[in-house]
């Protein structure tokens, strides 16, 4: 074998060796990949089995919880007990004209039966919030399927002494309640504590909902109509009233806060401050010239708004008694009474006195008494030229066309 053949043999042998190594490496790599794939497959199956086991455990736990929260497995008992609870709830919350009716019974396979109930009545917005909260807080298998409410035209007060604090609503509420087939025939009553699913208290729920007005513009606070400075007279009982108006005509309640001297009291029934300062202070006693109160007025709108303002009550001496008023003098008929005629009769003379303001003529003879306006007197003589009058013990003469009031004026001048 020459050298060329030797090199050729070595090259062919190296090529075969390389091919053999490549084949062996590919086999090894395939075996490793198959093993890894198998491991991954087994791991996935393990995870699936574990997830199924956990899901089964969760389903068993959930089923056990449903069993505890379920209505009675006896359909009649379940329906009657749940309806009784709804009636007790609407009665306790003061829902007016409340009606609770069952509205259907739907079995779902062999698992459970779904009962439908409709609750209708009239209440205000706080009453509606209380009703929804009472249902949601009861730890049972039930839910509110539909809730409808709208302003009611009928004015009704809530029961149990709860006053109507806002616009009444007509409410229609539809519920579903579930009775599990595996539940007890006489299950224990649900706990009185709110369900753990409720994350807020009733007060927090009411505050969140009632602070949103659904039917009107935002509520405005009450407005003060009186004076910011109030005067109280010493030695007198001064009832101080605080006048407020509400833009929405809501009812307004008033209270006061602050320091009160011992002679000041707050009358909560009439919502008046009674100030009765002494006319004179005792020796060594501090003289109170004025004091300040915080007046707080709250309405009953949604949301409830209030106005707080400081008012000063100042003490003063009582005013002097008013002077008696002298009535203005009335019109004097004597200033419009004239001697119009002296008439001779068969035996005597007659003086005709015309009272123009009254449109009548007095015919006076000797001895006749008269009262005309401010003049009261008696006729003592009548001649063809004059009439003689006695007024307040004095004698006066009045000639034809003369004015009665002038006889006194002429006498005063004389």
Retrieve residue 65's tokens. 């919880």
Q: Is 393 exposed, middle or buried (0-12, 13-18, 19+ CB in 10 A)?
A: exposed
Among 126, 82, 119, smallest CA distance to 97 is for 119
DSSP letter at 313 equals: E
Average the pLDDT over each of 5-9, 128-132, 215-219, 331-335 and give the range with the smallest value: 215-219
Residues 84, 176, single domain; the answer is: yes
Q: State pLDDT tens for residues 122-144.
A: 998 889 999 999 999 998 899 99
Question: In terms of domains, do 79 and 204 share one?
Answer: yes
> How many other C-beta atoms lie within 10 A of the C-beta of residue 26?
10
Say which CATH number the domain at 81 has.
3.30.70.60
Same domain, 92 and 136: yes
Give, for 123, the enclosing helix (H) or strand (E): strand 112-123
| Residue finishing a domain among 146, 181, 210 | 210
pLDDT band at 155 (very low <50, low <70, confident <90, very high): low
CATH classification at residue 364: 2.30.30
Do 214 and 246 meet the contact criterion of CB atoms below 8 Å apart?
no
Residues 262 and 312 in one domain: yes
Residue 79 sits in the same domain as residue 196: yes
Residues 147 and 231 in one domain: no
Helix, strand, coil content of the chain in percent (nearest 5): 30, 35, 35
Q: Is residue 27 part of a domain?
A: no
∠ CA(84), CA(89), CA(95), 5° rounding? 120
Number of folded domains that form the chain: 3
258 inside domain: yes
- Does 179 share its domain with 237? no
Residue 19 lies in a domain: no
Domain assignment of residue 378, yes or no: yes
Q: Which tokens is 272 given?
A: 């008046």
Find residue 122's DSSP bridge partners: 96, 170
Other beta carbons within 10 Å of 187: 21
Residue 64 lies in a domain: no
Share of the chain above pLDDT 90, in %: 28
Of the candidates 167, 165, 231, 90, the residue with the CA atom closest to the CA atom of residue 82: 90
User: Which of 316, 341, 370 lies at the terminal end of a domain, its last residue?
Assistant: 316
pTM, rounded to two decimals: 0.46
Contact 312, 231 (CB under 8 A): no
- Signed CA dihedral, 377, 381, 383, 386: sign only: negative
User: Of 210, 238, 253, which closes a domain?
Assistant: 210
227 and 205 together in one domain: no
pLDDT single digits (tens) 38-51: 889 999 999 999 98
Is it the case that residue 161 has pLDDT exceeding 50?
Answer: no
Is residue 228 domain-shared with residue 169, that is, in the same domain? no
373 lies in some domain? yes
Do 200 and 130 reside in the same domain of the chain? yes
- 213 pLDDT exceeds 80? no
Find the domain containing 267 and state its range: 223-316
Tokens representing 182? 């595996």
Based on the fold, state whether residues 179 and 304 are members of the same structural domain.
no
Q: For residue range 363-395, what is the model confidence (pLDDT) as tens digits?
A: 889 889 988 888 889 999 988 889 999 988 888
Q: Is the pLDDT of residue 249 over 50?
A: yes
Q: Which two tokens stand for residue 265?
A: 């009291």
191, 229: one domain: no
pLDDT band of residue 156 (cuts 50, 70, 90) is very low
Judge whether 203 lies within some domain: yes
- CATH code for the domain of 254: 2.60.40.10
In a domain, residue 65? The reply is no
Bigger pLDDT: 331 vs 144: 144
Cis peptide before 303 (omega within 30 of 0): yes
């Amino acid at each position: 074998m020459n050298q060329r053949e030797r090199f050729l043999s070595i090259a062919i042998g190296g090529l075969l060796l390389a091919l053999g190594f490549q084949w062996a490496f590919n086999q090894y790599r395939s075996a490793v990949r198959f093993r890894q794939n198998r491991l991954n497959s087994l791991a996935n199956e393990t995870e699936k089995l574990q997830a199924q086991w956990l899901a089964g455990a969760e389903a068993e736990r959930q089923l056990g919880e449903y069993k505890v929260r379920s209505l009675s497995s006896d359909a009649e008992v379940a329906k009657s007990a749940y309806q009784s609870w709804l009636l007790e709830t609407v009665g306790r919350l003061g829902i007016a004209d409340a009606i609770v009716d069952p509205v259907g019974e739907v079995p779902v396979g062999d698992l459970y039966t779904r009962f439908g109930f409709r609750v209708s009545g009239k209440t205000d917005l706080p009453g509606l919030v209380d009703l929804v909260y009472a249902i949601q807080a009861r730890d049972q298998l039930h839910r509110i399927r539909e809730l409808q409410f709208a302003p009611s035209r009928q004015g009704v007060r809530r029961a149990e002494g709860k006053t109507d604090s806002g616009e009444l609503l007509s409410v229609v509420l539809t519920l579903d309640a579930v009775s599990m087939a595996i539940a007890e025939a006489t299950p224990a009553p649900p706990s009185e504590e709110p369900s753990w699913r409720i994350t807020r208290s009733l007060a927090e729920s009411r505050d969140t909902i009632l602070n949103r007005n659904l039917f009107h513009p935002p509520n405005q606070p009450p407005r003060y109509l009186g004076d910011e400075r109030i005067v109280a007279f010493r030695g007198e009982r001064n009832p101080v009233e605080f006048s407020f108006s509400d833009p929405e005509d809501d009812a307004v309640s008033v209270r006061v806060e602050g320091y009160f001297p011992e002679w000041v009291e707050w009358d909560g029934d009439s919502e008046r401050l009674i100030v009765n300062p002494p006319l004179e202070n005792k020796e060594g006693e501090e003289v109170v010239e004025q004091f300040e109160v915080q007046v707080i007025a709250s309405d009953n709108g949604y949301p409830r708004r209030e106005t707080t303002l400081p008012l000063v009550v100042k003490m003063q001496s009582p005013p002097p008694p008013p002077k008696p008023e002298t009535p203005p003098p009335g019109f004097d008929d004597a200033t419009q009474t004239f001697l119009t005629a002296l008439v001779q009769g068969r035996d005597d003379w007659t003086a005709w006195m015309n009272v123009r303001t009254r449109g009548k003529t007095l015919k006076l003879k000797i001895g006749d008494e008269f009262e005309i306006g401010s003049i009261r007197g008696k006729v003592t003589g009548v001649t063809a030229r004059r009439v003689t009058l006695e007024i307040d013990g004095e004698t006066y003469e009045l000639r034809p066309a003369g004015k009665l009031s002038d006889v006194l004026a002429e006498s005063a001048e004389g």
